[in-house]
Amino acid sequence: MTSLQIETRALGVEPSELQKELGVSAPMARILSARGIASQEEIDYRISQLEQVDRMPDVKQATDRIIEAIENDQRIFICGDYDADGATASALCILFFHAIEFDLAEFRVPNRFSFGYGLTKVFVETLLDDEPDLLITVDNGVSSTEGVEFANAHGIDVIVTDHHLAPEPELLPAAHSIVNPNMPDSTFESEPCGVGVAFYLLAAVRRELIERGYFDDHGIEPPDMRQWLDLVAIGTVVDMVPLDLNNRRIVAEGLRRMRNGQTRPGIRALCDVTRTRLETLTTREIGFRIGPRINSAGRLDDISVGIQLLVEDNDYEATEKAMLLQDMNNRRRAIQEEMNTEANRLVDLVGDTGRRSHCVYHRDFHEGVVGLVASRLAERTAAPSIVFADASDGGSEDLKGSARSIDGVHIRDVLAYVNAMYPNLILRFGGHAGAAGLTIRKPSFERFANVFDNAVTALAAEDAFTPRILTDGELMPDEITMELSDEIDSFEPWGQTFIRPVFHGTFDVVSTARVGRNRDHQKFILRAGKRHFEAIAFSHPLVEAKRIEMTYQLDRNEYRNEVTLQLIADKIQVVD
């Protein structure tokens, strides 16, 4: 790690002014200043301050079509994605339609191994026998040109709700409406995830139903949309969309409700099987405990079980489904561990050739886990990485890849550049700045890897390959306290672009030990000044040193009803 450059985040407003206005500690004032917080209003997470739905593109057209379906007893199919964002969005829609006593809505999610991503033609074909009148995509669809065209040809309307970057106008699907804040004409000042977009659309449907007297006519109360913010919060955190102010308001309210026990039985069951205290739930626990369990269903089998968990009303059934997801997640972890090892071996085998990126493939790689392995590889090598696996549709010569990038390299733009320069080299692709998915032909793998590397080199920002870590600076030994850890927690939610505080410092190593089921974690007793601290580095290579410099976060460690301060180490460097 000798080449790693640690930089302290630049401050915005004078921290002492924030400290006075907000009544926070000096370290907390520095943290908030470095994240652009300049006033109390920017940490005002009241749900009443949410961005207005009318600024979402096509929301009026979509609302009118959904109400037409409701008024005419038309069949609605919710077509989701196979990740946690898609699962929470699908569950939200089903729960909403149940709440308004409309019984002709159901979810249909394509199995990733049979149909691939999005509203494909072959997936729509499987729906025809059930004669839907309206398809509503959630967390997908903005690139599903063929699937939408096929649905239209069979008299089925399609409403696309998505948050992924829209393609060029001539490549947009001919849907009835496209509700997507990432459309070029959007004035919506936030970047919600898929379930966030669905939430806004359903809020508009609710409002219109009230105005048309639907609830009075049916003798029912309009549903309180806040009851589903637990689902929206989980999807927002797990999908790692930017936590702008609007998204922070959504997640903060969802967290508050979950901590108060106002959540779905499935969420409570997931907390139980992961030994997570619902009363103190954090975004980190959502990201590392709750999200992976939901995602595991889509990675290894079928996301339907995850959706069924989220809509389940029975505590016993919810527990059964949560335990099934726990088993799936354990299988996923074992598969991922083997793939991580092999991906690292393949990269090390190539050696230092001056390449700016990595593309790896192995015939035994699991298609559902390549994204996780790509993330780990990009993090380890500080380079854009794509991990490929054989497409699972039997006998195909296609490879499906998952790409993860680094700051300064917009991965979707790189793939678009490759596609423009070398037509037909990429069969399909989509994504955003940090992550993307693609399909290529197996015989094209080596050529693609070379072309991709050249494109990365051409499009990367000037400082993209200077390894660096942004931190919130060094803490004095007497500032490393449980009080500061609790204060940081009080400013939840933390997440993408509103990063949980990371500090750096130099410590003497008093003692160390390998721990964990596979002895792959390392615990430390560290000393700074006259104080001692417990620290742990998860899934970290063995460190043997008397003195280290490290980046770390403050955390509460709860064990046998005792709460202690723990430093979670990330990058560790031996100090000579």
A 10 A CB-CB count for 103 gives 9
Q: Are 378 and 384 in contact (CB under 8 A)?
A: yes
- CATH code 2.40.50.460 for 470-574: yes
| pTM score, whole prediction | 0.91
Q: Strand pairing partners for 511?
A: 525
DSSP code per residue over 129-181:
GG--SEEEEES--TT-HHHHHHHHHTT-EEEEE--SPP--GGGS---SEEE-T
Any residues with CB less than 8 A from the CB of 446 and at least 6 apart, and which? none
C-alpha 345/C-alpha 107 separation (Å) is 41
3-state secondary structure 282-339: CHHHHHHHHHHHHHHHHHHCCCHHHHHHHHCCCHHHHHHHHHHHHHHHHHHHHHHHHH
C-alpha 438/C-alpha 428 separation (Å) is 5
Q: Are 146 and 158 in contact (CB under 8 A)?
A: no
**What is residue 48's predicted lDDT score, i.e. its pLDDT?**
92
Any residues with CB less than 8 A from the CB of 241 and at least 6 apart, and which? 163, 191, 192, 193, 196, 247, 496
Q: Is the sign of the CA dihedral 109, 115, 120, 124 positive or negative?
A: negative
Fold of 50-327: inorganic pyrophosphatase (n-terminal core) (3.90.1640)
**What is residue 35's predicted lDDT score, i.e. its pLDDT?**
97
Q: Which tens digit of pLDDT belongs to each residue from 481-521?
A: 999 999 999 999 999 999 999 999 999 999 999 998 888 89
Q: Which of 169, 122, 117, 173 is nearest to 140 (CA)?
A: 117
Return the CATH architecture of domain 352-459.
Roll (3.10)
Q: Consecutive sets of 10 residues in the chain, 576 residues long: mean pLDDT of each? A: 74 96 97 96 93 95 98 98 96 99 96 86 96 98 95 98 89 96 93 98 98 97 98 96 96 98 98 95 95 95 95 98 97 96 94 89 96 95 96 79 95 95 92 89 97 96 85 96 96 94 96 89 95 93 91 90 92 89
**What is residue 558's predicted lDDT score, i.e. its pLDDT?**
82
Q: Which tens digit of pLDDT belongs to each residue from 95-140?
A: 999 999 999 999 999 988 888 888 999 999 999 999 999 999 999 9
A 10 A CB-CB count for 88 gives 34
C-alpha 310/C-alpha 195 separation (Å) is 13
CA angle 168, 138, 305 (to 5 degrees): 140
C-alpha 299/C-alpha 306 separation (Å) is 11
Q: Are 405 and 374 in contact (CB under 8 A)?
A: no
**What is residue 394's predicted lDDT score, i.e. its pLDDT?**
52
Question: Domains of the chain: which residue ranges?
Answer: 50-327, 352-459, 470-574
Span between the terminal Cα atoms of the chain, in Å: 13
